Amino acid sequence: MMGCVFCKIVQKQIPAKIVYEDDKVLAFEDATPQAPVHILIISKEHIPTVNDINAGHKEIISSLFAAAKKIAEERNIAQKGYRLVINTNSEAGQTVFHIHMHILGGRHLAWPPG
């Protein structure tokens, strides 16, 4: 979608530190990391929020989780622990309206989050 920063990353129009890519999803280092491991996994298709997911997106959703699991193993946080976060709309703090899963780990993560 025009003007969407994550679509531009998918199209390689702006740079990102890409750590994983397949036909459905792309994963890259968050520009403002909040933990030693902070990676974003995004759909290649422009889906604004979780509220826009439909039955046609099953493969994408499955690929998001498969990528998260693979990255957690590669970064050695799978056993220690990590958190997957999808912020949705304003009260949750979503700032980029292209669906993305945060994978956070490498330190103790407090609960509940702020």
Nearest CB to ligand 5GP, comparing residues 30 and 45: 30
**Contact call for residues 10 and 31 (beta carbons, < 8 A):** no
Tokens of 97: 């309206």
> Is 100 annotated in the active site?
yes
**Cα first-last separation, the chain:** 31
79 is a contact residue toward ligand 5GP (CB under 6 A):
no
**Contact call for residues 78 and 69 (beta carbons, < 8 A):** yes
Q: Which of ligand 5GP, Zn ion, none lies near 16, with the C-beta cut-off 5 to 8 A by kind? A: ligand 5GP
Catalytic residue among 38, 57, 98, 100: 100
Q: Which of 31, 62, 74, 80 binds ligand 5GP (CB under 6 A)?
A: 31
96 is a contact residue toward Zn ion (CB under 5 A):
no
Closest residue by Cα to residue 39 from 59, 25, 18, 23: 18
Min separation Cβ 89 and ligand 5GP, Å: 10
* Residues 24, 30: Cα–Cα separation, whole Å: 19
Which stretches of 8-98 are assigned E, i.e. beta strand? Answer: 18-21, 25-29, 37-43, 82-85
User: Which residues sit at the interface with ligand 5GP, rule CB under 6 A?
Assistant: 5, 16, 28-32, 40, 87, 93-96
Q: Which residues bind Zn ion (CB under 5 A)?
A: 1, 4, 6-7, 46, 98
- Active site positions, annotated: 100
